[in-house]
Chain A
Amino acid sequence: MARTRFVPDAGLTVRMTTVMFLLGALFVGIVVALMFWLGGNNPGLAVLIGLVGIGVAFFQWWFSDKAAMRAMRAREVTPEEAPELHGMIDRLCAMADMPKPRVAISDTDLPNAFATGRSPQRSVVCVTTGILRTLNAEELEGVLAHELSHVAHRDVLVMTVAASTGILAGMVTRGAQFGGLGLGRSRNNDSSGAIGFVVVLVVSIVVYAISFVLLRLLSRYRELCADRSGAYLTQKPSALASALTKISGQMNAVPERDLRAAKSMNAFFITPAVRGLGMGTLTSTHPPLEQRLDQLAKIAASLGQSL
């Protein structure tokens, strides 16, 4: 058996699976709460609402590549148009033994990159013209390896499934505000119906808040995982580290208008475009640079030792 230098991070796996389990439990929790509210006579309706929530998530996942490409005004490029970019991705995919994704370039000054698509067979890796100008070949390759890891780990799928709890809670909140979409009308006359509305409203808002924080936590873990796999793929953690440092530094120098335009895309980006807000550590989609560099330094050390 061949020896390997790959060391899985068990702690990261445990933390991440815990977050995913909690999100799943929340989803079940809100469906059960709905069942109580709607009463024993039609529990099927609560399940139906749950299914609609999943359906919305499914829709987002299914059209993720088209939606993201349109939001970033990205266009697909052929090997003739961008030979270096294609060459890099060709080699990385051959090393990782994965199907080659489509390659796109977005004409934005924001130095960033993202990967999206419903499956590794139907995914797109997109880089901005800003990142092509900012990074050298080695650093760009580190970033591409990070994005290809997102594709291989099916991060778009994982994140949209994880987001379905929040989507459902949001739907219920809005539904309860507008009188439960007429669902509880027969019970509106007695006071227990009114209390039921308030309870459902509060429960769904709380579930939404918790799932929001958990989702961001999960997103940060997925970023660390992609950094890790990307560094092992290129065997050059220092290239990714210097790319991340460069991009993070540049992020504060780009104009504000661009930043806001890209806000909804943050979860897919290699570094977030929005600067640390008040609750930065709780709500950011990406781990702090410090933590990412620490992890890369550990990988570099493990690659440098002789076995």
Chain B
Amino acid sequence: MGLWDALRGQSRPRAANLDALFSLPSAALTLEVSLGLHPTGSGSVCFRAAEGYAAAATQQEAVALVGMDGGPSTESRVDEYGYTWLTVRAEPEDTAGLVTDLHAVNSALEAQGFGTGLLCSTVGFRDDNAVPAYLVYLYKQGTFYPFCPTGPTTRDTLRERQIRDAVGADLPFEEDTSRWMPIWGISEG
């Protein structure tokens, strides 16, 4: 933020960076080969739904867009922080399709001027023992980070770093680990 913005005190809300999401499918392949993490086929978009009719209508539009022509099912819930999670459940092997669906949700929100409300997107993985791992995409930073919950409020930091080392080169990765925000309750979605 520049001097003029600070003086004016009216910073423009940060726009979301959607493009980096498309580098996910190749990273999913790398994870499968190097760490034995299989995609679960489900992914979520987490955003702050604005109050008023326009936002509700936009959300319905987005759900309809994903489900068109026998597309995957979506479900939505509001978490305890007041953010809306729109979860898409696709075929496990079709990461590219899942990413396209997530992008459709983003574009629908952005087209109605709600792109500033996008917080993050998550894509789920499991290893052979069904232990979950997630790749989280931060829209405003345009970067990914791993999140491996092991309990209600505990995370496997070592495994997260392994994931970073495995796919850090394929994806724009969040260097600052203090921004690896925990998303407790992610598996409920």
B181 within 8 A of A: yes
Distance in angstroms between the alpha carbons of A235 and B59 in the assembled complex: 15
Known: A2-B15, A154-B6, A236-B50. A307 touches B80 (CB 8 A): no
A94 with B120: CB separation less than 8 A:
yes
A152 with B11: CB separation less than 8 A:
yes
B54 with A304: CB separation less than 8 A:
yes
Interface residues on A, range: 35 or more
Known: A4-B113, A9-B10. A303 touches B15 (CB 8 A): no
B116 with A88: CB separation less than 8 A:
no
B14 with A95: CB separation less than 8 A:
yes
B76 within 8 A of A: no
B52 with A300: CB separation less than 8 A:
yes
Chain A residues within 8 Å of B5, by CB: 153
Distance in angstroms between the alpha carbons of A149 and B138 in the assembled complex: 20
B54 with A307: CB separation less than 8 A:
yes
A305 within 8 A of B: yes
B112 with A91: CB separation less than 8 A:
no
A304 with B9: CB separation less than 8 A:
no
Distance in angstroms between the alpha carbons of A305 and B140 in the assembled complex: 24
Chain B residues within 8 Å of A300, by CB: 51-52
Chain A residue at minimal CB-CB distance from B141: A97
Main secondary structure of the interface of B (DSSP, over half): loop
B13 with A233: CB separation less than 8 A:
yes
Chain A residues within 8 Å of B82, by CB: 137-138, 141, 236
Distance in angstroms between the alpha carbons of A157 and B40 in the assembled complex: 49
A87 with B81: CB separation less than 8 A:
yes
Known: A91-B181, A137-B80, A141-B81. A303 touches B9 (CB 8 A): no
Distance in angstroms between the alpha carbons of A174 and B80 in the assembled complex: 55
* Count of CB-CB pairs between chains A and B under 8 Å: 141
Chain B residues within 8 Å of A153, by CB: 5-6, 9, 11
Known: A88-B81, A141-B81. A228 touches B10 (CB 8 A): yes
B55 within 8 A of A: yes
A235 with B54: CB separation less than 8 A:
no
Distance in angstroms between the alpha carbons of A234 and B48 in the assembled complex: 7
Among the stretches A12-20, A44-52, A103-111, the one at the interface with B is A12-20
Known: A3-B112, A304-B54, A307-B54. A235 touches B10 (CB 8 A): no
A226 with B9: CB separation less than 8 A:
yes
- Chain A 205-247, CB-CB to B under 8 Å as 1, else 0, gives 0000000000000000110011011001111111000000000
A203 within 8 A of B: no
Known: A229-B10, A237-B51. A307 touches B119 (CB 8 A): no
- Chain A 127-140, CB-CB to B under 8 Å as 1, else 0, gives 00000000001100
A229 with B11: CB separation less than 8 A:
yes
Known: A2-B15, A3-B111, A16-B8. A303 touches B181 (CB 8 A): no
Of A20, A96, A141, A222, most buried by chain B (CB within 10 Å of CB) is A96
Known: A304-B53, A307-B54. A91 touches B13 (CB 8 A): no
Query: How many chain B residues have a CB neighbour from A under 8 Å?
Result: 46
Chain B residues within 8 Å of A70, by CB: none
Chain A residues within 8 Å of B55, by CB: 235, 303-304
**Given A16, A152, A306, which contacts B112 in the complex, CB threshold below 8 Å?**
A306
B110 within 8 A of A: yes
B158 within 8 A of A: no
Q: How far is the CB of A141 from chain B (nearest CB, A)?
A: 7
Chain A residues within 8 Å of B52, by CB: 300, 303-305
B9 with A155: CB separation less than 8 A:
yes
B169 within 8 A of A: no
Chain A residues within 8 Å of B58, by CB: 306
From 100 to 159 in chain B, residues with beta carbon under 8 angstroms from any chain A beta carbon are 110-117, 119-120, 138, 140-141, 153
**Given A6, A16, A228, A306, which contacts B116 in the complex, CB threshold below 8 Å?**
A6
Chain A residue at minimal CB-CB distance from B1: A152
Chain A residue at minimal CB-CB distance from B9: A225
Which chain B residues have a beta carbon within 8 Å of chain A's beta carbons?
A: 1, 5-16, 48-55, 57-58, 80-83, 110-117, 119-120, 138, 140-141, 153, 178-179, 181-182, 184
Not counting A100-B179, A306-B54, A306-B112, a sample of 14 additional A-B residue pairs whose C-beta atoms are within 8 angstroms of each other reads A2-B15, A6-B12, A8-B8, A87-B81, A95-B140, A141-B82, A225-B10, A232-B116, A236-B82, A300-B51, A303-B51, A304-B54, A306-B53, A306-B58
- 7 A-B pairs with CB atoms under 8 Å apart are A3-B110, A100-B178, A153-B9, A234-B48, A235-B48, A235-B117, A306-B53
